[in-house]
Amino acid sequence: MALLQIAEPGQFAAPHQHKLAAGIDLGTTNSLVASVLSGMAVTLPDAAGRHLLPSVVRYAAEGVVVGDEAKLAAVEDPLNTVQSVKRLMGRGLADLKTLGSTLPYDIAYREVGEGREPGAVSLDGSGAVPRIRTRSGEVTPVEVSAEILKTLARRAEQSLGGELTGVVITVPAYFDDAQRQATKDAARLAGLNVFRLLNEPTAAAVAYGLDQRAEGVHAVYDLGGGTFDISILRLHRGVFEVMSTGGDSALGGDDFDRALAQWIMAQAGLGEDLDPVMQLRLTRLATGIKEQLSSVESAEIHLELPNGGRWQGSIDRETFNGLIDPLIAKTLAACRRALRDAGVTAEEIEDVVMVGGSTRVPRVRERVKELFRAEPRVDVDPDRVVAIGAAIQADVLAGNKPDEEMLLLDVISLSLGMETMGGLVERIVPRNTTIPVARAQEFTTFKDGQTALALHVVQGERDLVSDCRSLARFELRGIPPMVAGAARIRVTFEVDADGLLNVTALEETSGVKAGVVVKPSYGLSDSEVERMLRDSIAHAEDDMAARRLREEQVEAERVTEALRAALAQDGDQLLDAGERAGIEQALKHLVETAASQNHLSIKRAREALEKVCEPYVERRMNTSVRQAMAGHKLDEFES
């Protein structure tokens, strides 16, 4: 009887043969899938030979349609055709107002958590989750993205002839935890095993083969349809270290189209209250004009008006440049911040790699060349470069190249920390820390007999919790009752390679443990990220003063509680009336001073109280020693 060879799905029977893996660029405008074939990473086409898959999903009467067919139907069926869904990933109601776009959808909002008003959003990650009403029912951005991923996965499996063992999916470097988690949720919904999420600029560097160079500092300028990223990478013997990152996950070529569409509206005398069909028609027209102006100096415009008439005009490249210059300036400002964060100058950058279809716009290349004083590299197709880099990384993670090492070190964009007494932030993982990373710090209890501890995880650069973003709250219960400060609680922050955060707290004497995986239901808008970084610099002195004040107030409260407990226990036995009156007077002065806004006054009042209490403290210590030695001989204590 013949022996059948058995292999896992996605693997050949011979263990040394290629395992099937793919890299996916889940883009705002277009998406791609790539894989390594015969040692070379290539993007995979569909049956019609098309490599780019428009990131458009239509919920039609006959079922879900993805890609070119959905894009063609968008003008006739805008309410059931979802485009640029990447902009909605990991976002909530409040974020939609900052996206700078008119969404031609019927948006619904479903509550997460109870006891909230409709549309409410809280900073700890709960609140309204946007859902798009379609003829197939309400769908979330995650579900829409999952349809795109399913289509790409089917294309890969048909091209490769088997099931995928796993994929690497790229995300903008500036995607926050919520946006990354939403991307992983979409992949899981699509039935994909995600090896890891990879930052798009890092994927581009891999595709350009920069990992083969000995060392150097490089910039990756990634301007797609809806997102912008800038990353400064140091490359040394195949190790990618992201020195800094920045960008805007709501800025891209779509905004170029919108600026041009608004100019056309003004020239044609159209108002702002256009129906969804006319909005899409204008956007589609603006996109075509933009693409023409990348190769010609002027373009003719022919527009069908809502009243059935026609408008005709023209625009030259110089006028178009004037429309998009403010948007390009935003990207350059992010580039300068990234250079400062990395501690390098523009002159130290060896290569500027251009990524994303929007970098085909000549004005973008001109301005980038002016900033970095170097000719941008455009020798790899900017639309395909990210998917190709993801495919190379997926091939390594699948185990097809066991002898090849490729270490990709990304960073977190904002500091992570814990709230401590007084509403202060104790930063545990500083911004621009290389990930994956695990950092731990010990905390303790504030009051005698405390058996539980509330932990508050925050994100930001300011010293006060009120100026940072709340990420999660959880409690550690079952702490053995001890005197204040005796418990040892180790709090560990773990950020994985995908940029997702896990926080655990362990009381070391008892072993009780609690934790939380931070999964906020909506993201931090990029304007908020920028504001938080800017405020941390502008308010540095104020924050330092506020921290000193709160630290002194907390210390005053601790001293006050400890002294009152001691006086209640043995104050009458160890102090005469005069001594106790002096201590009570100094204690009253500290309590009154602690309510002031002067940290130096509080410190002086606390030190004065400690000075007055010195004889009392000494007597308490002597009493404790005598009690401990009672019934024992001196030689019992000798070593």
Instruction: Tell me the C-alpha distance between 5 and 10, whole Å.
Output: 14
Task: Using CA atoms of 269, 275, 277, 280 in order, give the dihedral in degrees to the nearest 10.
Answer: 60
Which residues in 44-136 belong to E strands, given as ranges?
53-54, 56-60, 63-66, 81-83, 107-110, 129-134
Which residues, listed in sequence order, are joined to residue 198 by a DSSP beta bridge?
170
> Does residue 86 have an active-site annotation?
yes
> Does residue 447 have an active-site annotation?
no
Q: Which amino acid is at 231?
A: S
Widest Cα–Cα separation across the chain? 110
Which candidate in 19, 25, 46, 383 is catalytic?
A: 25
Which candidate in 86, 150, 184, 290 is catalytic?
A: 86
Alpha helices in 190-314 (DSSP H): 200-207, 253-268, 276-293
Which candidate in 77, 200, 229, 526 is catalytic?
A: 200
Instruction: Tell me the C-alpha distance between 472 and 489, whole Å.
Output: 18
CB neighbour class for 315 (10 Å; exposed up to 12, middle 13-18, buried from 19): buried
Nearest Cα residue to 414 out of 520, 491, 545, 557: 520
Kindly report each contact of residues 483-486 with a partner whose C-beta sits within 8 Å and lies 24 or more positions away, as own/partner: 483/448, 484/444, 484/445, 484/446, 484/447, 484/448, 484/450, 484/558, 484/561, 484/562, 485/444, 485/445, 486/444, 486/445
Instruction: Tell me the C-alpha distance between 125 and 90, whole Å.
Output: 10
> Does residue 401 have an active-site annotation?
no
- Torsion sign (Cα): 24, 355, 65, 142: positive
Q: Which amino acid is at 212?
A: Q
Secondary structure in 3-state letters for 505-550? EEECCCCCEEEEECCCCCCCCHHHHHHHHHHHHHCHHHHHHHHHHH
Strands 81-83 and 107-110: unpaired
Please report where in the chains the tokens 């470097």 appear, as a residue.
173
Instruction: Tell me the C-alpha distance between 480 and 326, whole Å.
Output: 60
- Torsion sign (Cα): 613, 615, 619, 621: positive
Which candidate in 95, 176, 222, 341 is catalytic?
A: 222
Instruction: Tell me the C-alpha distance between 402 and 35, whole Å.
Output: 17
> Does residue 25 have an active-site annotation?
yes
Do residues 145 and 86 make contact, with C-beta atoms less than 8 angstroms apart?
yes
The alpha carbon of residue 456 and the mean position of all alpha carbons in its chain are separated, in whole angstroms, by: 18
The alpha carbon of residue 213 and the mean position of all alpha carbons in its chain are separated, in whole angstroms, by: 29
Strands 194-199 and 166-171: parallel
3 state DSSP class of 26: coil
Active site residues per annotation: 25, 86, 200, 222
